[in-house]
Structure 1
Amino acid sequence: MAQLTPLGAGLTPGNNPHIIRPLSAPPSSVSAASSSSSVSDPTLPKFKVESATVTQLNVEGSKLTATWDFTLLAANPSRKLEPYYSRVQAGVRYQDGCRDVYTLVKNPFPSFVLSRRNQTRVSLRLGVWRQPGRQVAQGISGERKSELVSFGFRLLAKVWFEYSRILPAERGWMLVSCDRVDFDFSGKNGTGEMTSRSGQCDVDYYPILPLGSTYQ
Protein backbone atom coordinates (compact mmCIF):
# COMPACT_ATOMS: atom_id res chain seq x y z
CA MET A 1 0.00 0.00 0.00
CA ALA A 2 1.50 3.30 -1.06
CA GLN A 3 1.57 6.18 1.38
CA LEU A 4 0.32 9.60 0.39
CA THR A 5 3.25 11.61 -0.90
CA PRO A 6 3.28 15.45 -1.04
CA LEU A 7 4.20 16.75 -4.48
CA GLY A 8 7.78 17.75 -5.00
CA ALA A 9 8.68 21.31 -5.94
CA GLY A 10 8.58 21.86 -9.68
CA LEU A 11 6.67 18.68 -10.51
CA THR A 12 3.18 20.14 -10.48
CA PRO A 13 1.48 23.48 -9.86
CA GLY A 14 1.36 24.72 -6.29
CA ASN A 15 -1.64 23.90 -4.13
CA ASN A 16 -3.24 26.06 -1.48
CA PRO A 17 -4.44 23.44 1.02
CA HIS A 18 -6.83 25.80 2.81
CA ILE A 19 -10.15 25.33 1.08
CA ILE A 20 -12.30 28.39 1.80
CA ARG A 21 -15.12 27.85 -0.68
CA PRO A 22 -17.69 25.11 -1.36
CA LEU A 23 -17.23 22.62 -4.15
CA SER A 24 -17.61 24.25 -7.55
CA ALA A 25 -17.96 22.86 -11.05
CA PRO A 26 -14.88 22.62 -13.27
CA PRO A 27 -14.05 26.01 -14.83
CA SER A 28 -15.90 26.86 -18.03
CA SER A 29 -12.56 26.93 -19.87
CA VAL A 30 -12.31 23.13 -19.84
CA SER A 31 -14.14 20.61 -22.00
CA ALA A 32 -15.82 17.43 -20.81
CA ALA A 33 -14.39 14.21 -22.16
CA SER A 34 -14.89 10.52 -21.71
CA SER A 35 -12.02 8.50 -20.34
CA SER A 36 -11.37 6.85 -23.70
CA SER A 37 -10.84 10.14 -25.52
CA SER A 38 -9.30 12.33 -22.85
CA VAL A 39 -5.95 10.67 -22.27
CA SER A 40 -3.92 8.06 -24.13
CA ASP A 41 -4.57 5.36 -21.52
CA PRO A 42 -8.36 4.79 -21.21
CA THR A 43 -7.97 3.43 -17.68
CA LEU A 44 -8.69 6.27 -15.29
CA PRO A 45 -8.12 5.94 -11.54
CA LYS A 46 -10.97 4.33 -9.61
CA PHE A 47 -12.50 5.76 -6.44
CA LYS A 48 -14.95 4.44 -3.87
CA VAL A 49 -16.02 5.48 -0.38
CA GLU A 50 -14.36 2.90 1.85
CA SER A 51 -15.78 4.25 5.11
CA ALA A 52 -17.74 7.26 6.30
CA THR A 53 -19.42 8.58 9.44
CA VAL A 54 -21.66 11.50 10.37
CA THR A 55 -21.37 12.89 13.89
CA GLN A 56 -23.08 15.74 15.73
CA LEU A 57 -25.95 15.74 13.24
CA ASN A 58 -28.56 18.10 14.59
CA VAL A 59 -31.42 20.11 13.07
CA GLU A 60 -33.13 23.02 14.84
CA GLY A 61 -35.65 24.65 12.54
CA SER A 62 -33.69 25.55 9.43
CA LYS A 63 -30.28 25.29 11.13
CA LEU A 64 -28.17 22.23 10.39
CA THR A 65 -24.98 21.13 12.15
CA ALA A 66 -22.98 18.01 11.27
CA THR A 67 -19.49 16.67 10.71
CA TRP A 68 -18.77 14.16 7.94
CA ASP A 69 -15.65 11.99 7.87
CA PHE A 70 -14.97 10.26 4.54
CA THR A 71 -12.21 7.85 3.58
CA LEU A 72 -11.88 7.26 -0.15
CA LEU A 73 -9.95 4.35 -1.59
CA ALA A 74 -8.20 5.53 -4.75
CA ALA A 75 -6.74 2.90 -7.09
CA ASN A 76 -4.65 3.49 -10.20
CA PRO A 77 -4.75 0.39 -12.46
CA SER A 78 -2.75 2.06 -15.22
CA ARG A 79 0.78 1.03 -16.16
CA LYS A 80 1.34 4.32 -18.01
CA LEU A 81 -0.32 7.19 -16.16
CA GLU A 82 0.73 8.65 -12.84
CA PRO A 83 -1.76 11.34 -11.73
CA TYR A 84 -0.75 14.25 -9.49
CA TYR A 85 -3.67 15.83 -7.61
CA SER A 86 -3.89 19.39 -6.28
CA ARG A 87 -6.52 22.02 -5.34
CA VAL A 88 -8.66 19.38 -3.65
CA GLN A 89 -12.26 20.47 -3.00
CA ALA A 90 -15.11 18.43 -1.57
CA GLY A 91 -18.84 18.74 -1.02
CA VAL A 92 -21.82 16.87 0.41
CA ARG A 93 -25.11 16.72 -1.47
CA TYR A 94 -28.63 15.86 -0.38
CA GLN A 95 -31.95 14.93 -2.03
CA ASP A 96 -30.67 12.90 -4.99
CA GLY A 97 -28.18 15.55 -6.00
CA CYS A 98 -30.78 18.31 -6.38
CA ARG A 99 -29.38 20.46 -3.60
CA ASP A 100 -25.99 21.02 -2.06
CA VAL A 101 -25.29 20.99 1.65
CA TYR A 102 -22.38 23.37 1.26
CA THR A 103 -19.26 22.25 3.05
CA LEU A 104 -15.58 22.94 3.41
CA VAL A 105 -12.62 20.77 4.24
CA LYS A 106 -12.03 21.21 7.98
CA ASN A 107 -8.79 19.26 7.85
CA PRO A 108 -7.30 20.47 4.54
CA PHE A 109 -5.94 17.71 2.32
CA PRO A 110 -2.60 18.36 0.60
CA SER A 111 -1.56 17.55 -2.92
CA PHE A 112 -0.83 13.88 -3.52
CA VAL A 113 0.44 11.41 -6.12
CA LEU A 114 -1.30 8.18 -7.12
CA SER A 115 1.49 5.90 -8.30
CA ARG A 116 1.15 3.52 -11.24
CA ARG A 117 -0.48 0.17 -10.44
CA ASN A 118 -1.04 1.23 -6.83
CA GLN A 119 -3.68 2.53 -4.45
CA THR A 120 -3.97 4.84 -1.48
CA ARG A 121 -6.53 6.31 0.90
CA VAL A 122 -7.78 9.90 1.00
CA SER A 123 -9.37 11.05 4.28
CA LEU A 124 -11.45 14.22 4.48
CA ARG A 125 -13.43 15.90 7.25
CA LEU A 126 -16.26 18.23 6.28
CA GLY A 127 -18.67 20.49 8.09
CA VAL A 128 -21.58 22.78 7.20
CA TRP A 129 -20.27 25.91 5.50
CA ARG A 130 -23.55 27.61 4.61
CA GLN A 131 -27.02 26.76 5.83
CA PRO A 132 -28.97 24.87 3.13
CA GLY A 133 -32.42 26.16 4.06
CA ARG A 134 -35.47 24.81 5.87
CA GLN A 135 -36.57 22.35 3.16
CA VAL A 136 -33.24 20.52 3.13
CA ALA A 137 -32.80 20.70 6.92
CA GLN A 138 -36.25 19.29 7.58
CA GLY A 139 -35.76 16.56 4.96
CA ILE A 140 -32.57 15.46 6.70
CA SER A 141 -34.33 15.59 10.06
CA GLY A 142 -37.15 13.36 8.77
CA GLU A 143 -34.70 10.75 7.47
CA ARG A 144 -32.74 10.95 10.71
CA LYS A 145 -35.84 9.90 12.62
CA SER A 146 -36.15 6.84 10.37
CA GLU A 147 -32.50 6.00 11.27
CA LEU A 148 -31.26 6.06 7.63
CA VAL A 149 -30.01 9.25 5.94
CA SER A 150 -28.67 9.34 2.37
CA PHE A 151 -26.12 11.88 1.20
CA GLY A 152 -24.02 12.28 -1.92
CA PHE A 153 -20.31 13.11 -1.92
CA ARG A 154 -18.22 14.84 -4.57
CA LEU A 155 -14.52 15.53 -4.83
CA LEU A 156 -12.97 17.87 -7.39
CA ALA A 157 -9.23 18.20 -7.94
CA LYS A 158 -6.84 19.51 -10.53
CA VAL A 159 -4.84 16.64 -11.98
CA TRP A 160 -1.71 16.19 -14.08
CA PHE A 161 -1.14 12.88 -15.82
CA GLU A 162 2.57 12.21 -16.13
CA TYR A 163 3.65 9.61 -18.73
CA SER A 164 7.40 10.00 -18.34
CA ARG A 165 10.06 12.59 -17.55
CA ILE A 166 10.39 13.26 -21.29
CA LEU A 167 6.79 13.58 -22.52
CA PRO A 168 4.77 16.63 -21.40
CA ALA A 169 2.13 16.06 -18.73
CA GLU A 170 -1.57 16.33 -19.57
CA ARG A 171 -3.58 18.68 -17.38
CA GLY A 172 -7.23 18.65 -16.43
CA TRP A 173 -9.84 18.45 -13.67
CA MET A 174 -11.16 15.22 -12.19
CA LEU A 175 -14.60 15.02 -10.63
CA VAL A 176 -15.39 12.07 -8.36
CA SER A 177 -19.14 11.66 -7.77
CA CYS A 178 -20.44 9.27 -5.12
CA ASP A 179 -24.15 9.85 -5.58
CA ARG A 180 -25.43 7.72 -2.73
CA VAL A 181 -23.79 7.18 0.63
CA ASP A 182 -26.29 5.81 3.18
CA PHE A 183 -25.77 6.37 6.89
CA ASP A 184 -27.34 4.12 9.52
CA PHE A 185 -28.25 5.92 12.77
CA SER A 186 -29.66 2.90 14.58
CA GLY A 187 -26.76 2.78 17.07
CA LYS A 188 -27.06 4.22 20.56
CA ASN A 189 -24.16 6.68 20.22
CA GLY A 190 -25.92 8.92 17.69
CA THR A 191 -23.25 8.42 15.01
CA GLY A 192 -24.27 7.62 11.45
CA GLU A 193 -22.23 4.75 9.98
CA MET A 194 -22.01 4.12 6.24
CA THR A 195 -23.87 1.01 5.14
CA SER A 196 -22.05 -1.71 3.21
CA ARG A 197 -24.24 -1.41 0.12
CA SER A 198 -23.44 2.23 -0.67
CA GLY A 199 -20.40 4.30 -1.56
CA GLN A 200 -19.86 3.57 -5.26
CA CYS A 201 -18.33 6.45 -7.25
CA ASP A 202 -18.09 7.63 -10.87
CA VAL A 203 -15.07 9.48 -12.24
CA ASP A 204 -15.23 12.19 -14.95
CA TYR A 205 -12.20 13.84 -16.49
CA TYR A 206 -12.24 17.37 -17.96
CA PRO A 207 -9.07 18.12 -19.96
CA ILE A 208 -7.62 21.62 -20.07
CA LEU A 209 -7.05 22.23 -23.77
CA PRO A 210 -4.14 24.25 -25.16
CA LEU A 211 -5.05 27.80 -26.14
CA GLY A 212 -6.53 27.88 -29.65
CA SER A 213 -7.08 24.13 -29.93
CA THR A 214 -10.38 22.44 -30.81
CA TYR A 215 -11.51 19.37 -28.91
CA GLN A 216 -12.44 16.46 -31.14
Structure 2
Amino acid sequence: MAKQRVVILGLGRFGLALGEELVASGVDVVGVDSLERAVNAAEKLTHSVIADATDIEALKQLGVLDAEHVIVAIGEDMSASLLAVNNLKELGVTGVWAKADSQAHAKILRSMGVNNLIRPEFSTGKRLAHVISGHAEDYIEFDLDYAMVKLAAPRWLHGHKVADADPDIVAIKRSGRTFRPAVPEDIISPDDILIAAGPVKTLERFCERRR
Protein backbone atom coordinates (compact mmCIF):
# COMPACT_ATOMS: atom_id res chain seq x y z
CA MET A 1 0.00 0.00 0.00
CA ALA A 2 1.36 3.44 -0.97
CA LYS A 3 2.13 5.89 1.80
CA GLN A 4 -0.39 8.62 2.47
CA ARG A 5 0.91 12.00 1.27
CA VAL A 6 0.32 15.25 3.16
CA VAL A 7 1.47 18.76 2.28
CA ILE A 8 1.89 21.27 5.12
CA LEU A 9 1.99 24.95 4.18
CA GLY A 10 3.73 26.84 6.97
CA LEU A 11 6.46 25.39 9.17
CA GLY A 12 6.05 27.33 12.38
CA ARG A 13 5.89 25.51 15.72
CA PHE A 14 2.50 23.98 14.95
CA GLY A 15 3.20 22.98 11.34
CA LEU A 16 6.59 21.49 12.17
CA ALA A 17 5.34 19.53 15.19
CA LEU A 18 2.40 18.20 13.18
CA GLY A 19 4.67 17.19 10.29
CA GLU A 20 7.13 15.36 12.52
CA GLU A 21 4.31 13.46 14.23
CA LEU A 22 2.82 12.47 10.87
CA VAL A 23 6.21 11.23 9.63
CA ALA A 24 6.58 9.18 12.82
CA SER A 25 3.19 7.65 11.98
CA GLY A 26 4.38 6.58 8.53
CA VAL A 27 2.98 9.45 6.45
CA ASP A 28 4.91 11.04 3.58
CA VAL A 29 5.05 14.75 4.49
CA VAL A 30 6.08 17.66 2.28
CA GLY A 31 6.70 20.80 4.34
CA VAL A 32 6.56 24.21 2.68
CA ASP A 33 7.61 27.61 4.00
CA SER A 34 8.83 30.87 2.49
CA LEU A 35 11.59 31.20 5.11
CA GLU A 36 14.83 29.29 4.60
CA ARG A 37 15.47 28.90 8.33
CA ALA A 38 12.07 27.24 8.80
CA VAL A 39 12.74 24.79 5.99
CA ASN A 40 16.22 24.03 7.34
CA ALA A 41 14.69 23.16 10.71
CA ALA A 42 12.34 20.63 9.06
CA GLU A 43 15.00 17.95 8.64
CA LYS A 44 12.75 15.20 10.02
CA LEU A 45 10.10 15.70 7.34
CA THR A 46 10.13 13.56 4.20
CA HIS A 47 10.70 16.65 2.04
CA SER A 48 10.91 20.37 2.82
CA VAL A 49 10.72 23.13 0.22
CA ILE A 50 11.17 26.90 0.17
CA ALA A 51 8.11 28.25 -1.62
CA ASP A 52 5.39 30.88 -1.36
CA ALA A 53 2.02 29.31 -0.52
CA THR A 54 0.25 32.40 -1.86
CA ASP A 55 1.66 31.69 -5.34
CA ILE A 56 -0.75 29.38 -7.17
CA GLU A 57 1.90 28.31 -9.68
CA ALA A 58 4.21 27.26 -6.85
CA LEU A 59 1.42 25.15 -5.37
CA LYS A 60 0.89 23.45 -8.72
CA GLN A 61 4.57 22.55 -8.89
CA LEU A 62 4.41 21.15 -5.36
CA GLY A 63 1.81 18.64 -6.52
CA VAL A 64 -0.89 19.58 -4.02
CA LEU A 65 -3.48 17.81 -6.18
CA ASP A 66 -1.68 14.52 -5.55
CA ALA A 67 -1.88 14.87 -1.76
CA GLU A 68 -4.60 13.27 0.35
CA HIS A 69 -4.54 16.29 2.66
CA VAL A 70 -3.16 19.81 2.41
CA ILE A 71 -2.83 21.62 5.73
CA VAL A 72 -2.59 25.41 5.76
CA ALA A 73 -0.68 25.91 9.01
CA ILE A 74 -0.21 29.65 8.45
CA GLY A 75 -2.09 31.11 11.39
CA GLU A 76 -0.62 34.46 12.36
CA ASP A 77 -0.60 35.95 8.85
CA MET A 78 -4.31 35.83 8.09
CA SER A 79 -4.02 37.29 4.60
CA ALA A 80 -1.41 34.69 3.59
CA SER A 81 -3.56 31.94 5.07
CA LEU A 82 -6.66 33.06 3.16
CA LEU A 83 -4.73 33.46 -0.11
CA ALA A 84 -3.27 29.97 0.26
CA VAL A 85 -6.72 28.49 0.92
CA ASN A 86 -8.18 30.38 -2.04
CA ASN A 87 -5.40 29.02 -4.28
CA LEU A 88 -6.09 25.47 -3.14
CA LYS A 89 -9.79 25.90 -3.79
CA GLU A 90 -9.09 27.28 -7.28
CA LEU A 91 -6.91 24.26 -8.01
CA GLY A 92 -9.68 21.91 -6.92
CA VAL A 93 -7.93 20.49 -3.84
CA THR A 94 -10.56 18.77 -1.70
CA GLY A 95 -8.75 17.67 1.46
CA VAL A 96 -7.99 21.15 2.80
CA TRP A 97 -7.35 21.76 6.51
CA ALA A 98 -6.59 25.22 7.86
CA LYS A 99 -5.30 26.64 11.14
CA ALA A 100 -7.20 29.63 12.50
CA ASP A 101 -5.78 31.85 15.22
CA SER A 102 -8.97 33.79 15.91
CA GLN A 103 -12.74 33.52 15.71
CA ALA A 104 -12.79 35.99 12.82
CA HIS A 105 -10.19 33.94 10.94
CA ALA A 106 -12.21 30.77 11.52
CA LYS A 107 -15.43 32.45 10.35
CA ILE A 108 -13.85 33.57 7.06
CA LEU A 109 -12.34 30.13 6.46
CA ARG A 110 -15.74 28.52 6.99
CA SER A 111 -17.29 30.96 4.51
CA MET A 112 -14.67 29.81 2.01
CA GLY A 113 -15.82 26.22 2.40
CA VAL A 114 -13.13 24.97 4.80
CA ASN A 115 -14.83 22.50 7.11
CA ASN A 116 -11.63 21.09 8.64
CA LEU A 117 -10.59 23.91 10.96
CA ILE A 118 -7.68 23.62 13.38
CA ARG A 119 -7.68 25.87 16.45
CA PRO A 120 -4.91 24.43 18.67
CA GLU A 121 -4.72 27.26 21.21
CA PHE A 122 -8.52 27.39 21.58
CA SER A 123 -8.86 23.61 21.93
CA THR A 124 -5.96 23.33 24.38
CA GLY A 125 -7.32 26.21 26.45
CA LYS A 126 -10.77 24.66 26.79
CA ARG A 127 -9.29 21.26 27.61
CA LEU A 128 -6.99 22.70 30.27
CA ALA A 129 -9.81 24.73 31.82
CA HIS A 130 -11.91 21.61 32.30
CA VAL A 131 -8.98 19.69 33.82
CA ILE A 132 -7.83 22.51 36.14
CA SER A 133 -11.37 23.17 37.36
CA GLY A 134 -11.43 19.61 38.66
CA HIS A 135 -14.50 18.71 36.62
CA ALA A 136 -12.68 16.26 34.37
CA GLU A 137 -9.50 14.25 33.94
CA ASP A 138 -9.50 14.91 30.19
CA TYR A 139 -11.69 16.71 27.68
CA ILE A 140 -11.79 16.65 23.87
CA GLU A 141 -14.10 18.81 21.77
CA PHE A 142 -14.71 17.36 18.29
CA ASP A 143 -17.05 19.94 16.86
CA LEU A 144 -18.80 23.17 17.80
CA ASP A 145 -21.27 21.24 19.96
CA TYR A 146 -19.93 17.72 20.56
CA ALA A 147 -17.27 16.51 22.97
CA MET A 148 -16.00 13.62 25.07
CA VAL A 149 -14.90 13.78 28.69
CA LYS A 150 -13.03 11.40 30.99
CA LEU A 151 -13.89 11.60 34.68
CA ALA A 152 -14.29 9.64 37.90
CA ALA A 153 -17.80 8.29 38.34
CA PRO A 154 -19.94 11.04 39.97
CA ARG A 155 -21.27 10.08 43.41
CA TRP A 156 -24.89 10.53 42.35
CA LEU A 157 -24.42 7.80 39.71
CA HIS A 158 -22.98 5.18 42.08
CA GLY A 159 -25.18 2.10 42.05
CA HIS A 160 -27.07 3.23 38.94
CA LYS A 161 -27.04 1.70 35.50
CA VAL A 162 -25.11 3.28 32.63
CA ALA A 163 -28.48 3.63 30.90
CA ASP A 164 -29.56 6.10 33.62
CA ALA A 165 -26.86 8.63 32.72
CA ASP A 166 -27.23 11.62 30.45
CA PRO A 167 -25.07 12.12 28.34
CA ASP A 168 -24.08 8.73 26.96
CA ILE A 169 -21.43 6.72 28.82
CA VAL A 170 -19.43 5.19 25.98
CA ALA A 171 -16.62 3.48 27.93
CA ILE A 172 -15.92 2.37 31.48
CA LYS A 173 -12.76 1.40 33.35
CA ARG A 174 -13.04 -0.77 36.44
CA SER A 175 -10.41 -0.67 39.18
CA GLY A 176 -7.22 -2.40 38.01
CA ARG A 177 -8.57 -3.00 34.51
CA THR A 178 -8.45 -1.29 31.12
CA PHE A 179 -11.20 0.68 29.39
CA ARG A 180 -13.94 -1.29 27.60
CA PRO A 181 -17.16 -0.24 25.85
CA ALA A 182 -19.94 0.45 28.34
CA VAL A 183 -23.24 -1.41 28.07
CA PRO A 184 -26.60 -0.14 29.37
CA GLU A 185 -26.76 -2.80 32.11
CA ASP A 186 -23.38 -1.89 33.67
CA ILE A 187 -23.79 -0.80 37.30
CA ILE A 188 -21.53 2.17 38.08
CA SER A 189 -19.19 1.74 41.05
CA PRO A 190 -17.32 4.41 43.10
CA ASP A 191 -13.93 3.39 41.65
CA ASP A 192 -15.04 3.50 38.01
CA ILE A 193 -13.55 5.89 35.47
CA LEU A 194 -16.02 6.90 32.76
CA ILE A 195 -15.82 8.34 29.27
CA ALA A 196 -18.95 10.25 28.37
CA ALA A 197 -19.92 11.78 25.02
CA GLY A 198 -22.56 14.27 23.98
CA PRO A 199 -23.44 17.94 23.46
CA VAL A 200 -21.03 20.32 25.19
CA LYS A 201 -23.65 21.90 27.48
CA THR A 202 -24.93 18.49 28.55
CA LEU A 203 -21.38 17.34 29.36
CA GLU A 204 -20.68 20.52 31.34
CA ARG A 205 -23.79 19.98 33.47
CA PHE A 206 -22.82 16.33 33.93
CA CYS A 207 -19.28 17.22 35.06
CA GLU A 208 -20.40 19.98 37.41
CA ARG A 209 -22.85 17.65 39.15
CA ARG A 210 -20.04 15.73 40.79
CA ARG A 211 -21.70 15.05 44.15
Which TM class, normalised by the smaller chain length? under 0.3
TM-score (normalizing by structure 2) = 0.23
Q: Which has the higher helix share?
A: 2
TM-score in terms of structure 1 length: 0.22
When you count strand as a share of all residues, which structure comes out higher?
A: 1
Greater RCO, 1 or 2 (C-alpha within 8 Å, sep 6+): 1
